[in-house]
Structure formats: C-alpha cells, structure tokens
C-alpha cells in the first residue's frame, strides 16, 4: 500500500530541517519512517495562488492527488476550500498534526 502523500511548502521544510520547530516533529517522523511521502516538481494546475512563488505547491498537490498540502503561507491557506473540492486538504503543520494524530 502506498503511503499518503503531502506537499510541504518551503516554510514548512525550513521549520522542520533548519529551525527544528516542534510543530513539525510528527511530520518529520512520518517522512523519515516512510509513513508519509513528500515531493515536488509540478505542471500548472486548475487553481491559481495569489503568490506566484507558491503556485508550484498547489500545482504539485493537485497533479499528484496529494492528501495534504502543509503550509503556513496565507496565500496557500486561502485556497483550502477550493483545493478540498479537488481532494487536497490545505492546512498548517499544527492543524495537520491535530488532524492526523493517532
């Protein structure tokens, strides 16, 4: 069975790898143990982000039918309702942890 997939935006990756933010501990554990598969490299999708620098994240999530797009970026979080209609849940690291807690 393929693990669920998630797109991590730059700030989330920085929080995890550079700043060691405790809010990303469970996310890191799941990636490191293979319970979650992150990725990148998208084609343009049907939703437009107001921040062109963040467009890549929503495009990738939609193209790869990811379960989650984890971000603290306001432009991406504003797409949550429209992304949900495509099957992608856009949420903060903290909300993701609360949503996926065992």
If you average pLDDT over every residue of the chain, what do you get?
A: 88
CATH value at residue 64: 3.40.50
Give the CA count within 13 Å in the CB-facing half-sphere of 98: 5
Structural domains counted in the chain: 1
Residues 79/58, Cβ–Cβ less than 8 Å? yes
Question: Domain limits at 65?
Answer: 5-100
Residues 59/19, Cβ–Cβ less than 8 Å? no
Distance between CA atoms of residues 96 and 94, nearest Å: 5
Question: Above 90 in pLDDT, residue 1?
Answer: no
Q: Show the tokens assigned to 20.
A: 């060691």
Q: What is the pLDDT of residues 72-96, one digit of tens each?
A: 999 999 999 999 999 999 999 999 9
The whole-number pLDDT of residue 4 equals 77
The pTM score is 0.68
């Amino acid at each position: 069975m393929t693990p669920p997939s998630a797109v991590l935006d730059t700030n989330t990756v920085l929080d995890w790898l550079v700043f060691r933010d405790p809010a990303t501990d469970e996310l890191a554990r799941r990636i490191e143990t293979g319970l979650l598969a992150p990725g990148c490299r998208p084609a343009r999708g049907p939703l437009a982000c107001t921040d062109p620098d963040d467009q890549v994240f929503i495009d990738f999530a939609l193209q790869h039918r990811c379960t989650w797009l984890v971000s603290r970026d306001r432009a991406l979080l504003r797409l949550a309702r429209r992304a949900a209609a495509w099957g992608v849940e856009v949420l903060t690291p903290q909300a993701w942890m609360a949503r996926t807690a065992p």
